[in-house]
């Protein structure tokens, strides 16, 4: 008997080929598209919140003879992702909406729908793998395509979900996924731009979005000694490590925020971006097991960063401390720190509270 599985369908090549591969390997997939809130009318053509992406998801399901369902998640998406995004920026923190969406919205809604329909498994088009340990625990491990590795974005998923997640693309490279699409008659995906940045607002419209939601909150741009170098329109327009668009003379990097005084702190020395110790809150242990002794790990503090050697210390008062062997650059409050153990297995992750 075929096992039923819910496939999150965004209308992109990855989720579409996930559906195809599952059907070809004997599963009985059901496509589910989440309708998400967006801001403005300019969302790019392949964002997962557009009418076009819904049309593509539906047509792929029809072509493969798979039932397609639509779940209205707009209100939940606005509350759990968009409002979170604005709230973090208002506190001079740099949010991570994609990882937060995976934990609070996307997988939560897919598993909720699956449970309501008597289905145990959920699949998505993420480039990741799961492996079963001898003790029965499920661990998140790196995919074949290390360049596309998305385990960082999944580090907040709890064990109860990981045990029922299927990631077919974990055994493929992006090029192989495109080759599969072409071979199976989905050539149009080869001409579709891949999604980048925020799904709920067009990249060019982000400044307008931020101005509408948070306004302009002008303040001083200062160096580490407090010398005033210029003015800014709002801390929410900047992020740690940014060096373009500062509006001051010379090449400077954003190295910090003084939220209390509404000051943007910059430096000409890139070394001022380096931090060795990171304090992490809300840490999710992927296997449900909390270490009781310091352990050697590799840690990642932003997308596209190669995990680097660190010591992860047991939580004290709900705060996990990671100490890097070599200082890490642009560690940002509000972003996610993910830790990995033997073989690249994801231990879990949490939100960066501070770094020094």
Q: In the chain, what are the helix, strand and coil shares in percent, each to the nearest 5? A: 30, 30, 40
Give the closest residue to 125 by CA, choosing from 163, 171, 158: 171
293 lies in the same domain as 228: no
Overall domain count for the chain:
3
DSSP, res 81: I
Assigned domain for 84 exists? yes
Range of the domain at 249: 216-268
181 lies in the same domain as 240: no
58 lies in the same domain as 118: yes
Cross-sheet strand order for the sheet of 253-258? 228-232, 219-222, 263-267, 253-258
223 lies in the same domain as 291: no
Assigned domain for 152 exists? no
Q: Which residues pair with 355 in a beta bridge?
A: 278
Catalytic site residue from 43, 48, 101, 155:
101
Assigned domain for 202 exists? no
Q: What are the DSSP calls for 242-282, one per residue? A: --SS--SSS--EEEEEETTTTEEEEES-GGGGEEEEEEEEE
Assigned domain for 58 exists? yes
Q: Flag whether pLDDT at 185 surpasses 60.
A: yes
Mean pLDDT for the chain overall: 95
CATH number for the domain harbouring residue 343: 2.40.30.10
40 lies in the same domain as 181: yes
| Of 268, 302, 332, the domain-final residue | 268
112 lies in the same domain as 261: no
CATH number for the domain harbouring residue 56: 3.40.50.620
CATH number for the domain harbouring residue 261: 2.30.30.280
pLDDT of residue 41: 66
Task: Find where tokens 């075929």 sit.
Answer: 2
Q: What are the phi and psi torsion angles at 338 (to 5°)?
A: -110, 140
Lowest mean pLDDT among 28-42, 90-104, 164-178, 320-334: 28-42
Q: Which two tokens stand for residue 353?
A: 């509270």
117 lies in the same domain as 17: yes
28 lies in the same domain as 102: yes
Q: What is the mean pLDDT of residues 303-315?
A: 95
List pLDDT tens digits, range 245-286.
Answer: 999 999 999 999 999 999 999 999 999 999 999 999 999 999
| Of 268, 301, 332, the domain-final residue | 268
235 lies in the same domain as 307: no
Assigned domain for 141 exists? no
Confidence of residue 204 (pLDDT cuts 50, 70, 90): confident
Establish whether 199 is a catalytic residue.
Answer: yes
Assigned domain for 327 exists? yes
Catalytic site residue from 199, 337, 339, 346:
199
221 lies in the same domain as 347: no
Assigned domain for 209 exists? no
Establish whether 98 is a catalytic residue.
Answer: no
Confidence of residue 203 (pLDDT cuts 50, 70, 90): confident
Assigned domain for 137 exists? no
List pLDDT tens digits, range 1-38.
Answer: 479 999 999 999 999 999 999 999 999 999 999 999 98
101 lies in the same domain as 181: yes
81 lies in the same domain as 187: yes
């Amino acid at each position: 008997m075929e096992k039923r599985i819910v496939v999150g369908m965004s209308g992109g090549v990855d989720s579409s080929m996930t559906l195809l591969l599952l059907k070809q390997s004997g599963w009985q997939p059901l496509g589910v598209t989440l309708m998400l809130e967006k801001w403005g009318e300019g969302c790019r053509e392949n964002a997962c919140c557009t009418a076009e992406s819904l049309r593509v998801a539906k047509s792929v399901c029809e072509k493969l003879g798979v039932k397609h369902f639509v779940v209205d998640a707009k209100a939940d998406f606005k509350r759990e992702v968009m409002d979170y995004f604005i709230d973090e920026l208002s506190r001079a923190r740099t949010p991570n909406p994609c990882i937060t969406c995976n934990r609070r919205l996307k997988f939560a809604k897919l598993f909720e729908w699956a449970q309501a329909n008597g289905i145990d498994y959920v699949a998505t088009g993420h480039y990741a793998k799961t492996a079963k340990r001898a003790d029965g625990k499920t661990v998140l491990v790196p995919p074949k395509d290390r360049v596309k590795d998305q385990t960082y974005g999944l580090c907040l998923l709890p064990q109860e979900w990981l045990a029922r997640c299927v990631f077919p693309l974990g055994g493929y490279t992006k090029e192989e996924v495109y080759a599969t699409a072409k071979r199976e008659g989905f050539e149009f995906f080869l001409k579709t731009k891949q999604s980048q940045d925020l799904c709920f607002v067009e990249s060019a419209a982000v400044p307008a979005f931020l101005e509408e939601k948070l306004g302009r909150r002008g303040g001083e741009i200062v160096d580490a000694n407090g010398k005033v170098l210029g003015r800014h329109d709002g801390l929410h327009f900047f992020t740690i490590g940014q060096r373009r668009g500062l509006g001051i003379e010379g090449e400077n990097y954003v190295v910090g925020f003084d939220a209390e005084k509404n000051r943007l702190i910059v430096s000409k020395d890139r070394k001022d971006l380096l931090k060795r110790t990171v304090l992490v809150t809300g840490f999710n242990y992927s296997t449900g097991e909390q270490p009781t002794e310091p352990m050697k790990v590799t840690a990642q503090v932003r997308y596209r960063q190669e995990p680097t050697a660190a010591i992860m210390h047991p939580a004290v008062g709900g705060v996990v401390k990671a100490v890097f062997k070599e200082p890490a650059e642009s560690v940002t409050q509000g972003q996610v720190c993910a830790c990995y153990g033997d073989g690249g297995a994801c231990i879990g992750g949490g939100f960066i509270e501070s770094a020094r």
